[in-house]
């Protein structure tokens, strides 16, 4: 603990600081709880999206062999041209929100292209969109976890360091001031006794 001044001014400063710590601590606890709830919610959403992805992949295996047809190149049509995201504020932290993945127009001859291409393209884009959404969700979850770590550190700093230090400083200053007052009273009594003795001695002269 840093050296403190054992004065009334320092006592007031430590008391004011302690009040601020106790006033701010409930806000930190509330923020920590909100972040924990959001993290649990996002984790559940991510699990659900992964389950959706697995389902689509399992269904795609039925016709995936058709993709070996070299006459149709899907790659250029399943890469998003743009992924739109927004943002929302959760307990003071801005996190990304997935909106939509945009794909370029697939241009192919409807008469020369096999009939299964339309369905396959739609399913592949759905899988890619899910993966883009999962990427954004994971970034949001990472941001929430980082903010939770910071908030938890602040809570621990207040509860385990700042508040105990302020309370200990106040205790020490109050003891010191009490000792100073006791000593002052003692000196005052001694001075009074000396004055009385001097006056008594002068009375006999």
Which of 31, 44, 42 shows the shortest CA–CA distance to 148? Answer: 31
| End-to-end Cα, the chain, rounded Å | 59
Instruction: Reply yes or no on whether the pLDDT at 186 is more than 90.
Output: no
pLDDT value for 189: 65
Please give the model's pTM, rounded to 2 decimal places.
Answer: 0.77
pLDDT value for 112: 64
- In terms of residues, how long is the chain? 205
Q: Vertex 118, ends 86 and 49: CA angle to 5°?
A: 40
- According to DSSP, the residues that pair with 97 across neighbouring strands are 86
In contact, 120 and 64? CB cutoff 8 Å? no
| pLDDT band, residue 130 (cuts 50/70/90) | very high
CA–CA distance, 63 with 90 (Å, rounded to integer): 42
> pLDDT averaged over the chain?
86
Residue 153 class from Cβ within 10 Å (0-12 exposed, 13-18 middle, 19+ buried)? exposed
CA–CA distance, 174 with 32 (Å, rounded to integer): 35
C-alpha count within 13 angstroms, C-beta hemisphere, residue 5: 8
Instruction: Reply yes or no on whether the pLDDT at 7 is more than 70.
Output: yes
Quote the tokens at residue 202.
């002068």
Read off φ and ψ for residue 67, nearest 5 degrees: -70, -15
Q: Catalogue all structural domains in the chain, each as residue range(s) with its CATH number.
A: 8-189 (1.10.287.3240)
pLDDT value for 69: 63
pLDDT tens-place string over residues 77-112: 888 999 999 999 988 899 999 999 999 887 766 666
| pLDDT band, residue 178 (cuts 50/70/90) | confident
pLDDT mean over 161-175: 92
């Amino acid at each position: 603990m840093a050296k403190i001044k054992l004065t009334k001014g320092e006592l007031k400063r430590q008391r004011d600081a302690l009040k601020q710590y106790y006033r701010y601590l409930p806000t930190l606890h509330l923020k920590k709880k909100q972040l924990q709830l959001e993290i649990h919610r996002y984790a559940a959403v991510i699990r659900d999206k992964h389950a959706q992805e697995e389902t689509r992949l399992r269904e795609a295996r039925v016709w995936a062999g058709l993709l070996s047809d070299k006459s149709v190149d899907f790659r250029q049509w399943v890469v998003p041209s743009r992924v739109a995201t927004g943002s929302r504020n959760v307990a003071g932290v801005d996190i990304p929100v997935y909106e939509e993945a945009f794909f370029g127009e697939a241009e192919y001859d409807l008469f020369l292209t096999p009939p299964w291409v339309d369905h396959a393209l739609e399913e592949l884009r759905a899988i890619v969109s899910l993966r883009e959404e999962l990427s954004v969700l994971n970034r949001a979850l990472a941001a929430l976890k980082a903010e939770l770590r910071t908030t938890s550190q602040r809570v621990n700093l207040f509860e385990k360091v700042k508040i105990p230090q302020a309370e200990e400083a106040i205790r020490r200053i109050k003891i010191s001031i009490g000792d100073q007052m006791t000593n002052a009273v003692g000196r005052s009594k001694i001075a009074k006794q000396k004055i009385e003795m001097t006056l008594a001695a002068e009375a006999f002269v």
